[in-house]
Amino acid sequence: MKLFSFLFTSSIGRKILMSVTGLSLVAFLLVHCSINACIFFNDHGKTFNEAAAFMGNNWLIRTAEIGLFVGLLLHSFQGLYLWASNGQKRKQKYHSTPGNANSKWYSRSMGILGSLLLLFLVLHLSHFWVVSRFTDELSETGSNTLFHKMSLIFKSPVLVIVYVIGCISLAYHLLHGFQSGFQSLGFNHPLLNPIIKNFGIVFSLLIPLIFASMPIVMYLGWIK
């Protein structure tokens, strides 16, 4: 275990842990988004429910889910720790600030964006994940599926707005986090750097856009 203690003790170790957990969450987002996008078959959630059932029943995925949670917790607590400790490194603050002249606002706001995401996640998990894992409320088929739960939740305009805000936070969080993750791992290649950068931008905009479109289309009743 001593081999990995640096991930919790040194400044660079901590960012490497942020990077590894962050990039695994990015990978999860891709899976999550692909499954959810099944609603766009517009088949009353049939494909979506099948995919969700597969995810819920596959032992390999259930195991990975534990890893995912550990990663999420590490990412959150490490992030909050870094946010707090970095903020302490300059006790006497500047009186005039450079605005966005030397960096992007969202790159400086990862702590706030991350906290927003964390709050959103609590809500989001209580809406779907807790209900499907720990209660008998939902069934895999019939009229009480996960898909039905979705349409029910997204009847509320307030919740739709909350979800859209969550997705916007996610987009900005990813916009910085995606390439930052590679930088923290020491990835640097003259040809691949621009590819990572551009792919990161596309990913950061596309995935949250797809996610955000789901509550909207369900609220508007375009997907039933």
Stretches 62-70, 84-92, 128-136, 203-211: which one binds another protein (CB under 8 A)? 84-92
CB of 188 to another protein, least distance (A): 4
For another protein, the closer of residues 51 and 110 by Cβ is: 110
Q: Assess 99 for contact with another protein (CB under 8 A).
A: yes
Q: Assess 169 for contact with another protein (CB under 8 A).
A: no
Q: Assess 126 for contact with another protein (CB under 8 A).
A: no
Stretches 49-57, 130-138, 175-183, 215-223: which one binds another protein (CB under 8 A)? 175-183
Which residue is listed with tokens 């969550």? 166
Q: Assess 173 for contact with another protein (CB under 8 A).
A: no
Q: Assess 75 for contact with another protein (CB under 8 A).
A: no
CB of 35 to another protein, least distance (A): 30
CB of 111 to another protein, least distance (A): 9
Q: How many residues would you count in the chain?
A: 224
Residues in the interface with another protein (CB under 8 A) total: 42
CB of 13 to another protein, least distance (A): 7
162 CB-contact burial (10 Å; exposed 0-12 / middle 13-18 / buried 19+): middle
Positions that interact with another protein (CB under 8 A):
3, 6, 10-16, 82, 85-99, 101-104, 107-108, 110, 176, 179-180, 182-188
